[in-house]
Amino acid sequence: MQDKYPTEKSKRILMFCDLRDSTDILLNFEQNIYRDDQLGETGSFTYKNFIMDVHEAIYKEFYLEHENTFFEIYGDGVLSIFPEDNTKFILENIHRLTNRMRIYNEANGVGILKPLIDIGFSLAIGDISFVYFSLDKRYHPIGRCVHEGARIESLSKFYDARVLISGQFLSYSEEYIKIDTRFSYRFIDHVILKGFREPITIFELLLDNDPRFEIKKNSIQAYSEAYAKYRNKEWGAARELFKKIHGEYGLGIGLVMASRCEILSKNPPGNNWNGVWKMKDK
């Protein structure tokens, strides 16, 4: 087992995914709100059953089909690490997994008798090495990319996005995205992640099994115009355009950016401001 993962740094693709609203789901299970008619009586369908099914589905998509993949469960989340030449594999499996998620969510009784499954994802790329811990007899990944991927995933719900990706990952995947009509992407923001010192660019990977796929694509031009006003310190004009994006397209990122414009209008940045926003939360 100790020679399974490389201890030397190598460039790898990292994916975090996290079950959203898991605390509410757990509390609903504890109150016996959910049930599975196939299992019979109320109470036989447990949070343990549910979360194990979710993790098993992710595991089968992202680990069993590729022997050189690292996979680790963190409570209600999962970390997967892949060799850098696995971009197409990752895109295909994210599409398949999110498609299964949509089919499940559209079934009768989901959201009432069964919990909705809402998973946020992040994809990043960077140098990662593995350290063997004798305490738990397992390998653990270390590297800046691990922290970056975790921070990016934590922003997915904040920006009202499903799959957030770093600009560096986009550079690896863009050729596949552009030739496959099932995929697209949209620019999100320039930020300094919590605990980091340098800015990164964040995008959302768009999938055609997202009910808002066309809405998000259609919003790209409007968002670009609003962001240009924002970068130019035209706070009032930018705020109104961002609010319009929320009103016309129903995208939460419009309210996020409109609120930011309000903050900046009251506390304007200096002359050397370049549009980069420093995140204060993980």
**187 part of a folded domain:** yes
- 100 and 199 belong to one structural domain: yes
Domain boundaries, position 227: 219-270
- Is residue 180 a contact partner of residue 149, using CB atoms and an 8 Å limit? no
- 186 and 235 belong to one structural domain: no
Phi, then psi, of 17 in degrees rounded to 5? -140, 145
Pick the more confident residue, 75 or 192. 192
* pLDDT, tens digit (0-9, with 9 covering 90-100), for 200-222: 999 999 999 999 999 999 999 99
- 248 and 163 belong to one structural domain: no
Number of domain units in the chain: 2
Measured distance CA(155)–CA(282) in Å, rounded: 8
- 149 and 183 belong to one structural domain: yes
270 has a pLDDT exceeding 50: yes
- Is residue 12 a contact partner of residue 126, using CB atoms and an 8 Å limit? yes
67 has a pLDDT exceeding 70: no
How high is the pLDDT of residue 43?
46
Task: Give the pairing type, strands 183-192 and 277-278.
Answer: parallel
* pLDDT, tens digit (0-9, with 9 covering 90-100), for 86-145: 899 899 999 999 999 999 999 888 888 889 999 999 999 999 999 989 898 888 999 999
Sign of CA dihedral 61, 63, 64, 65: positive
- 30 and 157 belong to one structural domain: yes
Residue 58 belongs to a domain with what CATH number? 3.30.70.1230
